[in-house]
Chains A and B, each alone.
Chain A
Amino acid sequence: MNSERPEECLVRLSELTVRFGAFVALDRLSFQMNRGEVIGLVGPNGAGKTTLLRVLATLQPPTGGSAWIAGYDVSAHPAAVRRVIGYLPDFAGLYQDMKVREYPAFFAAANGLDAKQIAAFTARALTLCNLVDRQNDFIEQLSKGMRAKLAFAGVLAGDPPLLLLDEPMSGLDPSARKAIREIILQLRDEGRTVLISSHLLADLEQFCDRVLFLRGGQILSESVDQTPVVQLVLESEDETTPDRLRAMPGVADVQKKNDVRNGYVLVLKEGAHVPSTLAAITAAGLPVMLFAPAGHTLEDRFARAVEGRHP
């Protein structure tokens, strides 16, 4: 089984499809995830993010294509897959009557660890989640942010190489979000592979190596495609200006910005030398008032990929 796939590739989807009746939740999705990568899933509600995570967590059988994790087909070998994943669902409940330290211990036991390993894991998980001081409290006494951190601790039981996180920061206040962000950053530094869905793009930007934009069950684009985009404002323009801009070196496309007077968005070719483009525009006598790189934040790229508009 494992010999089929290269060692560095931990997750592989091939034409993965999930249908719910006539509704296509995932539409022939294909991508690979290497070990140590942190990948974000972004898209509007109903884009297929949760369905994708549920397929990988062995909770949703695909209706077409295949998904492989660590060399195991998710459909054919769910038990083997469960040994290499940690899954945090979008709504992860906790046992309110448990003590804080008992929660990671319970999941460690469920992962087959012996008493010594359970004690070691519990101590490590509580330290990572900064809950050592509250370990003897009951879970019902914790704040929402602390419960979110504790749910994280359970996911880490068994030391899974792949973490599947569905909206782990949803509904949390800024300080709790920061705490979760720090945990994910630490896990990334430990070399874990993480697939995380979130609507909080600014957070994803801080720890994701790649972000996949999903819509209608398909990957629209990847954030690694960082085609440079420039915002240009001229002092004056005439009807020939768009064509003149299109003829400049490195320019792939020119779009008029309707909300800015004499404003344009220049989509540059991949690998274009931006200073040379600016130099060519000024040399052509176009009166440049503003020439600024744009569209590099994740939010801008999301707008471009999912909503089809430039910033």
Chain B
Amino acid sequence: MGFLRNPVIRREIEHRMRDNRTYFIPTVLLALLGLLTAAVYATMTLVGRGHDATIQGWQIGLAIFHAQAFLLMALMVLLVPSISAGAITSERDRGTLVPLLVTPMSRVRIAVGKWISSVLYILLLLITAIPFGALASGFGGVTGHLLLSTWACLITTVLFLSSMGLMVSTLVRRTVPAMLLAYGLVAFAVIGTAIVDGVLNLLNPAMERIVVLYANPFTPLVLNLEERFSTDPAMPVWWWTPVIHLALSAVFITVAGYRISRMRE
């Protein structure tokens, strides 16, 4: 818990714990997960009856797990930019940035503190979803590989999006434009990469997958859904997305650190 020595992290955690939205967002998340889980379960059992076929428990568990993974990823994509893109701009908006910048605390430490605190909050959201994930696993069908790959992708997506939000927060002076830019970049990561991939595949059908598509947070979830696991044990296909996201996170954090170290107000 040494990172709690960073006063920015402590301050941000205290701030979040005093904000009603901190409790509202996980409540909504859990409600959505609960409704989704119930809906998938009901659909699967109804489909099974309609076809007079036997739906196995593991099939229900797998369907719930995939649905939860897509919902969690969609919520991360929607929530993380709003949480991280105002990290620095909100300090500037309320006039607290200058007093912070003139303290002896390293500016990189300020930036990293902001980033870690937003990541911690998002991870808290993900942790609250674990019981529902366990429910899905209880039905069977969720392999260790699937569990590991999905959670690795969720966590690296959080790191990727929050570091991107932080970087945007150091590039733009005000919070609203920072949010707009962050959501624009997220839209490119989710929709733009798919469009670019589609266009490039039209031009060159031999190119089945390109790296740009692996920047899309949903790509590994689709691959998992299609059970398209790589046979190469050294580098399974789903690894590409976490690796790309971690690399981009490192770039974004570096840019944010550089920007804040040159910041005057």
Q: What does DSSP make chain A's interface, helix, strand, loop or mixed?
A: loop
Q: Are A59 and B102 in contact (CB under 8 A)?
A: yes
Name the residue of chain B whose CB is nearest to the CB of A83.
Answer: B104
Q: Are B106 and A79 in contact (CB under 8 A)?
A: yes
Min CB gap B121→A, angstroms: 15
1/0 contact string of A81-104 vs chain B (CB within 8 Å)? 011010111011111111000100
Among B8-16, B147-155, B206-214, the one that faces the other chain is: B8-16
Say whether B145 faces chain A, with CB atoms less than 8 Å apart.
no
Name the residue of chain B whose CB is nearest to the CB of A93.
Answer: B95
1/0 contact string of B115-136 vs chain A (CB within 8 Å)? 0000000000000000000000
Known contacts: A95-B96, A106-B7. The answer to whether A112 contacts B102 by CB under 8 A is no
Q: Are B15 and A110 in contact (CB under 8 A)?
A: no
Q: Are A107 and B96 in contact (CB under 8 A)?
A: no
Min CB gap A18→B, angstroms: 12
Q: Are A58 and B104 in contact (CB under 8 A)?
A: no
Which listed residue (A58, A106, A151) contacts B102, Cβ 8 A? A58
Min CB gap B86→A, angstroms: 14
Say whether B74 faces chain A, with CB atoms less than 8 Å apart.
no
Say whether B105 faces chain A, with CB atoms less than 8 Å apart.
yes
Say whether B101 faces chain A, with CB atoms less than 8 Å apart.
yes
CA distance A56 to B189 in the complex (A): 43
Q: How many residues of A contact B (CB 8 A)?
A: 32
Known contacts: A59-B265, A97-B19. The answer to whether A82 contacts B99 by CB under 8 A is no
Which listed residue (A59, A97, A111, A155) contacts B104, Cβ 8 A? A111
Residues of B within 8 A of A91 (CB): 95
CA distance A97 to B14 in the complex (A): 9
Min CB gap B68→A, angstroms: 33
> Which B residues, 62 to 108, have Cβ-Cβ distances below 8 Å to chain A?
94-96, 98-106
CA distance A83 to B106 in the complex (A): 11
CA distance A92 to B94 in the complex (A): 8
Min CB gap A122→B, angstroms: 13
Would you list 11 pairs from A and B whose C-beta atoms are within 8 A, ordered by A residue?
Answer: A82-B102, A82-B103, A88-B99, A92-B98, A93-B95, A97-B18, A98-B15, A106-B7, A109-B7, A111-B104, A157-B103
B contact residues vs A (CB 8 Å cutoff): 5, 7-8, 10-11, 14-15, 18-19, 94-96, 98-106, 264-265
